[in-house]
Structure 1
């Protein structure tokens, strides 16, 4: 694992560990390899600077703990999902101009487009029966790490669509792996834990434990994403855990 920001023992005891005027794809890539992700400050004394974040308590979603409610599994059958078909559109829809708390700036979009062109970032798209893009997510893939960045759903046409995108992502990351390998060889980073993510199986780990897991998976082969359509074809709803209740909000999910 890289130490772009120095040793973890010297980081401040807070989620924001640094900020800088500089921001480009190479710097961001090295940050992910160091256990740090970029998010613009936008406010305060340095509104034009990039913030570099490594939460003291990191949200992760172990693939062997992922739980999909019965209603979500049923909802998934109403949609078609794809991978990397509309990456830029997914990022732009996640940006949701005018959204309160929005942080996906034009500079962010440009850098993640570069990641995508290099095969280091992927999107999951969710389409309704009329072939409208009604939900999706995107994130960065390095070795066995997938760092989820943001999600969206269309409030009118895509209820549950962002969660359906997560179902597809978990299926892609776990394909061909045993349950032990899913836990050991894949790290699905969700940044901060929310009650909704916890209901889906996400947990919180100390920063040091996250960095330990990251160090283990960075050198592994990344998943090979299947870009075919899923869910509308019989038998392709992933066999994941089942819960009795469902939720309609998710960290980073923008109503479009």
Structure 2
């Protein structure tokens, strides 16, 4: 991130304003003395239904031994992402409380990879903002589990009526998954063209593996 990408600073986070800001492509991260609101100069984006994504066979094969859960325990996914060792970790206790508040507003969602006994072994979480799903973080304890969660997310959000998955800053990992990098101005224009859509609510519980059809392009 650069100073040019920092568009606002606040001493606290107001969950009631979150959806409006996310709709503008702005999202928070903790910084010294408070929170910064960022709009990346380049944005990782998936446009659902327009760009063809195919789940790798090696990833789809995880469905033989695992199940996909949706919103079973979003805060458990947040906690797992926060406590997974990685460079640049940013999910601190204040962000966890913020996400807890967003869950109360039905804005926080998770896609989870679980064993048949219910153990959480991978997943991702993000925030819904109109027809945009803003991905915040992902983790895995089993190889390819976070990838499986991502491809399940693409299938689910397309089905629910979402138009865009926003991955925030482009990374090599996201590009390999199928995201594309857009200039910030292009992404702002894409958001401005967004209709006043209201996707259907996320389901809660385990998805049927046959319904996912992850080897088909999405």
**Is TM (by shorter chain) over 0.5?**
yes
Question: Equivalences for 1:125-164 in 2 at 5 Å?
Answer: 125-154=112-141, 158-164=142-148
Give structure 2 stretches of 5+ with no counterpart: none
C-alpha distance in 1 between matches for 2:139 and 2:195:
27
Superposition deviation, residue 97 in structure 1:
6.5
Equivalent position to 1:207, from 184, 193, 197: 184
Equivalents in 1 of 2:63, 2:189: separation in Å?
34
Hey, which of these two has a bigger chunk of helix by percent? 2
Q: Which residue pairs with 2:201 in the alignment?
A: 224
Q: 2:102 corresponds to which residue? A: 115
TM-score normalised to structure 1 length: 0.76
User: Which of these residues, 63, 86, 89, is aligned with residue 102 of structure 1?
Assistant: 89
The partner residue of 1:20 within 7, 10, 13 is 10
Counting matched residue pairs gives 215
The match for 1:236 is 212
RMSD over aligned CA atoms reads: 2.3
Name whichever of 28-37 and 117-126 sits farther off: 28-37
- Which 4+ stretches in 1 moved above 4 angstroms? none
Distance in 1 between residues matched to 2:84 and 2:150, nearest whole Å? 23
Distance between the aligned counterparts of 1:106 and 1:13, measured in 2?
24
- Where structure 1 has 5 or more consecutive residues not aligned to the other structure, the ranges are 1-11, 42-46, 178-184, 243-256
- The Cα shift of 1:13 comes to 7.9
| 1:194 is aligned to 2:194 | no
Q: CA deviation at 1:27?
A: 3.8
Aligned partner of residue 167 in structure 1, secondary structure = helix
Which of 209-218 and 118-127 deviates more? 209-218
TM-score of the aligned structures, taking structure 2 as reference length:
0.88
* Per-residue CA distance 1:185-231 (angstroms, 9 max, x = gap): 60100001122222222101111111122223362012432334235
Residue 29 (structure 1) aligns with: 19
Distance 1:120 1:143 in 2: 10
